[in-house]
Amino acid sequence: MSELHGDPDALSMACPRSAAEELAARLPPGPVVELCCGVGGITRALARRGPVVAVDRDLRRLAANRRNLARYGLADRVQLLCCDLRRPALRARKGYAFAACVLDPDWAPAGRPPRVWTRRLEEMQPPVPALVALGLELAPRVVVRLPREADPVPLASLGRVQALPARRARRFHFLLLQGDEAPGGSPPGTWYPGGGDSSREG
């Protein structure tokens, strides 16, 4: 039985628990915003480390995310928001509102079956370059989960890109992009080492 509630397409794309926990352990202290949170494969791990604002455009998946959080006693740590990130209502304030931003876009282009992925970032939903640009307005560090075959070149103009392979995850990896400054005086480029073994494959 799946650890998460949700529709089959969302569950097929959800980040494996071990990889999500590995990512959460590497994030700096402070609140996190997650864009394209879906049914909560990553949200659950983020909530265990601190407060989270989780955003998605699909109300059904947000409802499933809430059920999944409640199942683990984490619902009070997460604010769930419905927003179409192609036309975001989120606006950056002076200074960063979050310590980090996590992005988990849909890898399939519009009109294609959910499991038919593209390597072109601009064809994903929402287009990843625009999503990363939004994330860098909200936080000095942005982490995006992408299939390994995706071409990261379009992100180079947005900042320094660092690959963070998810151990034992064959389908995907995480890419970290850094802004010009970090909250609390932490220098840009600071990446918090995490531990924990990943035993499931993505």
Paired sense of beta strands 172-178 and 160-164, if any: antiparallel
Helix (H, G, I), strand (E, B) or coil at 9: helix
Burial category of 135 from C-beta neighbours within 10 Å (exposed 0-12, middle 13-18, buried 19 and up): buried
Please give the sequence-ordered ranges of beta strands (E in DSSP) within 30-165, or none if there are none.
Answer: 32-35, 52-56, 78-82, 100-103, 141-147, 160-164
Is the predicted pLDDT of residue 87 greater than 80, yes or no?
A: no
Where do the domains of the chain lie? 8-87+94-185
Mention the CATH class of domain 8-87+94-185.
alpha beta
pLDDT top residue among 160 and 35: 35
Lookup result for tokens 């998810």: 166
| Terminal-residue alpha carbon distance, the chain | 17
Q: How far is CA 98 from CA 50, 69, 83, 93, in A?
A: 11, 21, 18, 10
Q: What is the pLDDT of residue 3?
A: 84
Cα–Cα distance measured from residue 167 to residue 172, given in angstroms and rounded to the nearest whole number? 10
Q: What is the pLDDT of residue 91?
A: 58
- H or E element at residue 176: strand 172-178
Residue 35 phi, psi dihedral angles, 5° rounding? -105, 135
Q: What is the pLDDT of residue 168?
A: 64
Q: How far is CA 52 from CA 67, 74, 75, 122, in A?
A: 16, 10, 10, 27
Lowest mean pLDDT among 36-50, 165-179, 187-201: 187-201
Cα–Cα distance measured from residue 65 to residue 163, given in angstroms and rounded to the nearest whole number? 27
Q: What is the pLDDT of residue 181?
A: 55
Say what the pTM is: 0.85
Task: Write the DSSP symbol of residue 14.
Answer: S
Nearest to 37, CA basis, from 85, 70, 2, 73: 85
Nearest to 106, CA basis, from 163, 144, 64, 158: 144
